[in-house]
A and B are shown apart, each in its own frame.
Chain A
Amino acid sequence: MERPIIKTDHLTFSYHTDGEATPPVLTDVSLEIADGSFVAVLGHNGSGKSTLAKHMNAILLPTGGKVYVDGLDTSNEDLLLDVRRTVGMVFQNPDNQIVANVVEEDVAFAPENLGIPSAEIRQRVDEALAAVGMSEFATHAPHLLSGGQKQRVAIAGVIAMRPRCIVLDEPTAMLDPVGRAEVMRTIKTLNRKSGVTVVLITHHMDEAAQADRLIVMAGGHVVADGTPKTVFSDVEGLRNVGLTVPDTVELLYELRQDGLDLPLDALTDDECANALYKLLA
C-alpha cells in the first residue's frame, strides 16, 4: 500500500487545565487515511470527532502517540507550514473563516501567505473559484452571499493552497438543504475529479452515506470503521452510541423486525425502492 496521507498512531489527547489533565478526549486512535479517498467521520457531539480533525493539520498536537501527514510528524514545529499546506481545513461557520471583504482576495489569502508570485496566485484563485463554481462571484462581498456560497468560498480558499487533503469539520451544520447539497456536490467533485483526499466530519447520516469509508467515533474511540453500507447495517450498534441511521435503512430495519426478508444496506432512495420492489413484485 502507498504511504497514507494521514496516519494517527496510538493518538491520545486530553486538555490540560492548571497543569492537571482532564479525562482524555481521544484514546488510542490509530487510523490510516489513504491518499485520494473520501472518508466520513461520524459521531455525536462530544464524541471526539472534531478533536480528531484538529490533529490532522497540527491545530492540536497529541498528548500521547503521533500523527503523521504525508509522513511528516505534526509535532515537529519546523514542518508546520508543510503540514498545513498538505492538509487544508474547512470549519463549520463560514463567516468566521473568511478573512477578506472581496471573494477573490479571500481565496488569495493562503497563496499570499505562502509567498507565491502574483501571476501564479491569480491563476490559482481563478482555478479554485472555478472548482467550487463561484467564478462569477469573484469580485463580490462575501457577507452578501448565501451560506452555501460562503462555504464554497471557504473551500476555494483552502484549495488555492493546492493541498492533497481537505478536512471539513461539520461544513454543512449551519446550512439549509440547498446549501448542504451545494457543498456536498463540491466536495465530491474535488475528490473524484482532482483526486483530493477528503475527510468529512459530520453528524448527518445522509452525508456520511456518500463517502467511500465511514469511521464512527464515540467516547474518544473509533467504534466502527468500514464502508457506509456495512457500518449502517449495524442499526443497534449505532443507536447505542447516540446515532441514528438513514431513514431508508431505518425502514428496512423495522420491516425486518416484522419478519420480512430485506437487505439493510440501502442508502439511497433508489436502493431502498429496489429492495422493496423485489419484495412486493
Chain B
Amino acid sequence: METILQLEHLSHIYSAGTPFEHSALVDVDFSIYRGEYLGIIGRTGSGKSTLIQHFNGLLKPTSGRVLFEGKDIWETKERTRATRFRVGLVFQYPEYQLFEETVYRDISFGPRNMGLDDTEVDRRTRDAAAFVGLPDAVLQKSPFELSGGQKRRVAIAGVIAMGPSVLVLDEPTAGLDPVGVESILSNIRDYHQAKNATIILVSHSMEEVARTVDRLVVVSDGHIPFTGTPREVFSHGAELENLGLGLPQMTRVFHRLRALGVDIDPSVYTIAQARAAILAKLGKGAV
C-alpha cells in the first residue's frame, strides 16, 4: 500500500507558555494510505479536530512532521498552500461557512483560489455539484434560500471542487435525519470510488463508521490507543467504553448473546453481518 499522508511524532500544544497551555496531541505517529476509507473516532475534545487540521497544514505541529506524498508540507510556504488543495477539509456544520451570492460562486471559491482558468473552474464547479446531487437549477440560487441538508451539500461540493486526492470530513452527517445521513454518505462513497480518493471520515457514531470505513483510528486524550479494521478495534470493547466510546449496537447485542451462553462470534458490527451470523448459526446460510 502506498502511503499518502504520514504523521511523524506529531505533537501540538495550544496556548504554549500561558496558564491555558494544554497538549492536544502527544507524539502521534501513523500513516494514511492512498485510496483507503479511514475513520477517525474520538470524543469531543479528544484531539481529533486538532489532528485533522494538521493534514492540510491549517495547524503547524509544535513538534514532529506531516508528510504528504513523502514531502514535509511545511518545507516551503508554497508547499503548505498547495497541500490545502490536495487535502480537502470539510469542517463540522460546513453550511455555516457559505458566503457567496449564488451556489455556483460559492462552490467555485476554492478552484478560483487555485488560480485555474475559467473553463476549468466551470468544469470543476459543475462536476462537484453533480457529485453531491445538486441539480443545475440550484446553481444560480442564493445558498441561503436552500434547506439545511442542501446547504451542507453545497459546502461539501465547495471542497470537492478543488479536486483533492484526500478528502477529510469532520462529522459530515451531524444533525441530519436518517435520509439526509444516507445521501451524504453515498455522495462521499461516490467520490471515493470515482476518483480513487482517500477518504477520512471523522465521526462519533460507532454505527456510522462501522458500516462505512475500511480502517479505524481511535483518538483519545491526544493519543492513538487503537488502529485497525473495525473488527479489530471493536474487539477492545471494554477499553473503548472506558474511553467514553461505545460499541456499535449489533456488537453489544452479540456480547449479550454470548453472556446468555450462546456460542457465537461477537465480532459483528453491522446489521448485515449480524443477520448472516444468526442464519449461519441456524444452519441456513446467508440468503
Residues of A within 8 A of B (CB): 44-46, 92, 146-147, 170, 173-174, 176-179, 203, 206, 242-244, 246-248, 250-251, 254-255, 258, 260, 269-270, 272-274, 276-277, 279-281
B249 lies within 8 A of A269 (CB): yes
What residue of chain B has the Cβ atom nearest to residue A43's Cβ? B177
Interface residues of B, CB < 8 Å — how many? 42
A-B contacts, 15 of them at CB < 8 A, read A44-B177, A44-B179, A45-B149, A173-B174, A248-B249, A250-B271, A251-B275, A255-B278, A255-B279, A258-B284, A270-B256, A273-B257, A276-B262, A280-B262, A280-B282
Judge if B178 is at the interface, Cβ distance under 8 Å.
yes
Residues of B within 8 A of A254 (CB): 271, 275
**Nearest CB on B from A200, distance (A):** 15
- Bound CA span A281–B174, Å: 40
Please tell me which one of the listed residues A174, A277, A281 contacts residue B175 in the complex, with CB atoms under 8 A apart: A174
Given A247-B207, A251-B275, A273-B259, 20 more pairs with CB closer than 8 A: A44-B178, A45-B176, A170-B175, A176-B204, A177-B246, A179-B44, A242-B179, A243-B177, A248-B253, A251-B253, A251-B274, A255-B279, A258-B275, A272-B256, A273-B253, A273-B254, A277-B262, A279-B282, A280-B281, A280-B282
Q: A178-B43, A281-B262 are in contact. Are A273 and B176 (CB under 8 A)?
A: no
B148 touches A45 (CB 8 A): yes
Question: Which residues of the other chain, A, contact B254 by a CB distance below 8 angstroms?
Answer: 273
In whole angstroms, how far apart are the Cα atoms of A243 and B179 in the complex? 7
Per a CB cutoff under 8 Å, which of B45, B147, B174 touches A146? B45
Q: Is B138 an interface residue (CB 8 A)?
A: no
Q: Which residues in A have their C-beta under 8 angstroms from that of B259? A: 273
Partner of B249, one of A173, A246, A255: A246
Residues of the A chain whose Cβ atoms lie less than 8 Å from the Cβ of B179: 44, 242
Does B250 reach chain A (CB closer than 8 Å)? yes
Does B205 sit within 8 A of A, measured CB to CB?
Answer: yes
Measured CA separation A71–B285 after assembly (Å): 59
Cβ-defined contact, B260 with A273, below 8 A: yes
Q: Is B287 part of the binding interface, using a Cβ–Cβ cutoff of 8 Å?
A: yes
Of chain A, the residue at the smallest CB distance from B268 is A251
- Min CB distance A229 to B, Å, is 17
Complex contacts, B67 vs chain A, CB 8 Å: none
CA distance A147 to B45 in the complex (A): 10
Interface: B13 (CB within 8 A): no
Rounded to whole angstroms, the CA-CA distance of A68 and B272 in the bound complex is 47
Q: Which of B177, B248, B256, B278 contacts A280, CB < 8 Å?
A: B278
> How far is A92 from B174 in the complex, measured between Cα atoms in Å?
12
A191 to B262, alpha carbons, bound, how many Å?
Answer: 37
A244 and B178 form a contact (CB under 8 A): yes
Return the contact of A247 from the options B147, B249, B256, B284 (Cβ within 8 A): B249
Q: Is the CB of B244 closer than 8 A to any CB of chain A?
A: yes
Known: A258-B287, A269-B252, A273-B256. A177 touches B245 (CB 8 A): yes
B253 touches which of A176, A206, A269, A280 (Cβ 8 Å): A269
Query: Within the complex, which residue of B44, B174, B248, B278 is in contact with A276, where a contact is CB–CB below 8 Å?
Result: B278
Choose one: A45, A46, A174, A277; the contact of B260 (CB below 8 Å).
A277
Of all chain A residues, which has the CB nearest B264?
A280
A242 and B246 CA atoms in complex are apart in Å by 26
What's the nearest-Cβ distance from chain A to residue B184, in Å? 13
Chain B residues with CB below 8 A from A244, complex form = 178
What's the Cα separation between A45 and B95 when bound, in Å? Answer: 16
Inside 8 A of B279's CB, which chain A residues have their CB? 255, 258
Task: Output the least CB separation between B265 and chain A (Å).
Answer: 13
Judge whether A274 and B244 touch: CB under 8 Å: no
Q: Which residues does chain A contribute within 8 Å of B281, judged by CB atoms?
A: 280
User: Are A247 and B44 interface neighbours, CB within 8 A?
Assistant: no
CA distance A258 to B281 in the complex (A): 14
Top 6 A-B residue pairs of the complex, sorted by shortest distance between their CB atoms: A273-B256, A44-B177, A176-B204, A247-B249, A244-B178, A242-B179
Would you call B180 an interface residue if the criterion is a C-beta within 8 Å of the partner chain's C-beta atoms? yes
Contact of B44 among A176, A206, A242, A255 (CB under 8 A): A176
Q: In the complex, are the beta carbons of B177 and A242 less than 8 A apart?
A: yes
